[in-house]
Chain A
Amino acid sequence: MDAFIVLFQQTLIFTIPLLLVALGGMISEKSGITNVGLEGMMIMGAAAGIGFIHAFGDRWSGQLFFIVAILIAAIVGGILSLVHAYAAITIGANQTISGTALNLFAPAFVIFMAEALLGERKVNFVDSFVVDSVPGLVSIPFIGPVFFKNSYLTTIIALAILCVVIFVLSKTKTGLRLGACGEHPQAAASVGINVKKYRYIAVIISGMLSGIGGIAFVIPTSTSFNGTVSGYGFLALALVIFGKWKPLNIFAGAAFFGFLKALSSVYSSLPFFGDIQLPAEFYRLMPYLVTLIVLTISSKKSEAPKALGIPYAGEGE
């Protein structure tokens, strides 16, 4: 039983950053802007947050400090996304190019800054943010140890953001207007919606969520940050398609993928999987293989926003 609790705990470690970043990607794409730069925004966000933790970690610790670091990660992710937003919305440039530029820029910039400021190519940090156990809640069978033992605040934040996104997109005027901007911007504009404003907001939110996703990715899994998030930004991009631009589907997809990733890492200590002698490569291949198959089967009918990736020039231009 313990081994299975570890399996689900580890599932969260993979799922939470993917969920955050994929939600960001989805919001941006809902408004009609492809955001290939998620990976770059994750890296910059993580770098800013971890740089902050590195700088003040010897003086401060605890959850409040973590929240400030998360906010800094979000703000820096948001600022970086402005570059993409300006290129894609104001200038009407090719959206793939500016996203790719960010992906090239971010890791190089982070390593450069780390070497210039700290003299090494990674940023070490002290992790004082793990919550050993939440009193009361931890005694709930199964759910308790999975969510409330050795957990991070980012888990709760991510789930809260998921709820907010679901609510805003389906129940509020703002959410429906955002969707309209991605489906048919001209029609949206004809009824007085400021398409460019909505698109700007969507891209900035995607940058902020990516920044949070970046720090949620690095903090639980290492003791240093070396300017990479191992391609999780691209995985998140795939998850947006996998989840058909619907937040709950994306959550399910992230959890499913996270579960397979966790299984491929911890199978050796599980009762059944550890005993059947399959090569380790098989388990490592599984998440990607299953994703490919599911994508092939499910993508017959694409539900992408109709105006996705098409620059909108606005009225009278």
Chain B
Amino acid sequence: MHKFPNKFIFIFCGVIIFSLLITGKGITAGRRKTDRLGADISLCTTVAGVFDRSYNEGTWKAMVDINRKYPDTTVNYYTPKEERESDLYSILEIAAKGDPKIIIATSINFAKPIGIVQHKNPEINYLVVDAVPSDENGNDDIAKNTLAISFSEHESGFLAGYAAVKDGYRDLGFVGGMASPAVKRFGYGFLYGANEAAKDLGLKKGAVSVKYTYSGTFSPSPEIMSLATSWYNGGTEVIFAAAGSGGNSVIKAAEQCGKKFIGVDTDMSRESEVVITSALKDIYSVIDQVITDYKEGNFKGGIRRNFSAKDHGVGLPMETSRFRTFDKAQYDEVFNRVVNGEFEMNTQAETPEEIKVENINVKVF
């Protein structure tokens, strides 16, 4: 024993330093055409990173294209190792050290961290998507240099639910990640959409039924896979999953059971053949629009901006959808009705039971 401690310390320091080096790589700075540490526009992502085939990727793509359009505007990104508020706060601080003009953050978990840094760095403009900055007590607090962006997810969910029922699906399911405001809006909109389609088709009450639940996680897990398998086996034809990459577990179940899936946030059609459509939030055009505004000197902070169907902020990707009969003409018709505000939706409800949909059966788990 006693002749070993030096070797032992050496090896363990080695292992620990190596793993620290590697975890340290979790904070990645993708620099473009610049010598200084930061960039003009910095993106702070969620743990999934910028190549998540989802939200972060859409944001990053928009930023890269901005860089192409205005080569003097440099862009980079930072990815946290974990999604605790302290981790998010520290990557925001690291991003701020690079002296950027705009910092973009895209997750509800950034609410409190942004609430702090927006006052600390008043010379930086913050763009926070899907979250409203809040103070320590959880009250909304949007500083002059911050723009909070939200989407009308319920309209996107509405279109997905409407299209699914119009396309002949009668037994639907909704799996949300957690009961966050955005996920709830997706789910409620889905119920309203299915309800409206059932009414348009003149179906009897009970002809269309929707199962509704929250899985409790946004990552792939056997729990989500089992849940989806049991629903599919119980007759559910298509599941709309607003559960981030947890959707991959639902896709797995759909593939095994030969059933269908509706994706969320971005166009998920290339993930699998079972994806019939996706309830989009067009983050790309929103980021593009806001940064272009900034370039032209029209950036306005201190407010919330909502992007709805009217602004083409939400919708379905009809080119890549795999519907049986539902076509572009039908889509455009219902899309215009949504834009005109024909459908009243309660997006503030605490639970899905409060959603009044008379033409369909909703079962909440």
Contacts and interface: CB of A to CB of B under 8 A. Distances in A.
Given A98-B12, A280-B365, A104 B23 contact: yes
Interface string A262-276: 101111111000100
A126 to B, nearest CB: 10
A67 interface: no
Contact of A268 (B47, B49, B365): B365
Contacts of A127: 252, 255
B321 interface: no
Contact of B15 (A6, A101, A317): A101
A91 B51 contact: no
A13 B256 CA distance: 13
Given A92-B1, A265-B226, A268-B211, 12 more contacts: A6-B229, A13-B222, A119-B51, A220-B252, A222-B221, A222-B252, A223-B248, A223-B272, A261-B226, A268-B231, A268-B363, A280-B214
B234 A269 contact: yes
Contact of A13 (B19, B214, B225, B271): B225
A11 B47 CA distance: 30
Nearest to B217: A230
A14 B48 CA distance: 25
Rank and list the top 8 A-B pairs by shortest CB-CB distance, nearest first.
A266-B230, A265-B226, A120-B51, A222-B220, A269-B234, A10-B226, A268-B365, A105-B19
B22 A105 contact: yes
A265 B272 contact: no
A121 B52 contact: yes
Interface in A92-144: 92-93, 97-98, 101, 104-105, 108-109, 111-112, 115, 119-122, 127, 130
A1 B227 CA distance: 17
B229 A266 contact: yes
Overall SS of chain A's interface: helix
B22 A109 contact: yes
B226 A262 contact: yes
B12 A268 contact: no
Contacts of B51: 115, 119-121
Interface of A: 2-3, 6-7, 9-10, 13-14, 83, 86-87, 91-93, 97-98, 101, 104-105, 108-109, 111-112, 115, 119-122, 127, 130, 150, 217, 220-224, 226, 228, 230, 261-262, 264-270, 274, 280, 284, 311, 313, 317
Q: What's the dominant secondary structure at chain B's contact region? A: helix
B230 A269 contact: yes
13 contacts: A3-B234, A6-B229, A10-B226, A13-B226, A91-B11, A104-B16, A105-B18, A112-B22, A122-B52, A226-B245, A264-B223, A311-B1, A313-B1
Interface residues of B, number: 50
Contacts of A6: 229-230, 233-234
B308 interface: no
Contacts of A265: 222-224, 226-227, 230
Contacts of B1: 92, 311, 313, 317
Contacts of B252: 127, 220-223
A10 B363 CA distance: 22
B52 A269 contact: no
A111 B25 CA distance: 10
Contacts of B8: 87, 91-93
B304 interface: no
Contacts of A83: 15
A45 to B, nearest CB: 17
Contacts of A223: 220, 248, 251-252, 255, 271-272
